[in-house]
Amino acid sequence: MLEIKNLHAKIDDKEILRGINLTVKPGEIHAIMGPNGSGKSTLSSVLAGSDVYEVSEGSVSFYGKDLLALPAEDRAREGLFYSFQYPVEIPGVSMVNFMRTALNEHRKYNNLKPYTAGEFLKLMREKKNLVEIDSNLTNRSVNEGFSGGEKKKNEIFQMAMLEPRVAILDETDSGLDIDALRIVANGVNKLKSKDNATIIITHYQRLLDYIIPDFVHVLHNGRIVKSAGKELAFELEEKGYDWIKKEFED
């Protein structure tokens, strides 16, 4: 369970998150929508452990642990996954080597034996099929020269490999063609279980046709200003954000 209480974060002296409250329980799917610049990616990176932002107030508990006290790598090993809005290219580092190191770090942290090369490759094949990612991509360097859509697929592939307890997907749907969108959504659905949860950040209701959220939240100016069921997404699609912005003009 992920429990965010009154989370404030700033960069330089600019406060970007201004008191976020959100509870995500196992088995749930939460969608976070909101206008550009409202703080969705900031919230994601703060949770993932970016040290670009300074948390000035609030707390985050992750399965009973103080998430904010953990370094980014331990948050990942605890089972938090962050699919980047803009995945980063790492030239010269092969996907295979990258994933194998990552996965074995997770296993070490959880007192499990590292995978042998054979076991790892087998798992990788399985997950590749699950998310229908092109074999060529996993033979290349991490995200290097990947198209926008390929990068997003690669994020989902990594999620499949790491089997997180909570995954934050930051606009994973943007830049995907119709087929890729379906494939990625299918992947997310296949990986979904009663023990894990997903936070989907998106601008488009379209994705939510494939992945049905239990809750939809609207983030505006660093606060969650509205939460409701999936019908809220339709309303937003239709009316835009102006009515919400008006309601919350300070």
Ligand X SMILES: Nc1ncnc2c1ncn2[C@@H]1O[C@H](COP(=O)(O)OP(=O)(O)OP(=O)(O)O)[C@@H](O)[C@H]1O
Residues lying near other proteins in the complex (CB under 8 A): 9, 11, 45-46, 48-55, 68, 71-73, 75-77, 81-82, 84, 87-94, 97-98, 101-103, 105-106, 109, 141, 158, 162
Q: Which is nearer to other proteins, 40 or 75 (CB)?
A: 75
Residue 55 token pair: 């948390």
If the CB atoms of residues 41 and 196 are measured against Mg ion, the closer one turns out to be: 41
The yes or no reply on residue 52 touching ligand X (CB under 6 A) is: yes
Which of 123, 37, 109, 104 is CA-nearest to residue 75? 109
Least distance (Å) between residue 151 CB and other proteins: 11
Stretch that binds ligand X, among 29-37, 109-117, 146-154, 227-235 (CB under 6 A): 29-37
Q: 176 Cβ partners below 8 Å, 6+ apart?
A: 149, 152, 153, 184
The one segment of 20-28, 30-38, 149-157, 230-238 that binds ligand X by CB under 6 A: 30-38
- C-alpha span between 62 and 99 (Å, rounded): 24
At closest approach, how far in Å is the CB of 239 from other proteins? 35
The answer to whether 164 and 188 are in contact (CB under 8 A) is: no
Q: Which is nearer to Mg ion, 40 or 151 (CB)?
A: 40
Backbone CA torsion sign across 85, 135, 165, 101: negative
In angstroms, the CA 209 to CA 197 distance is 18
- Give me the residues paired with residue 219 across strands: 224
Interface positions with ligand X (CB under 6 A): 11, 16, 34, 36-42, 52, 85
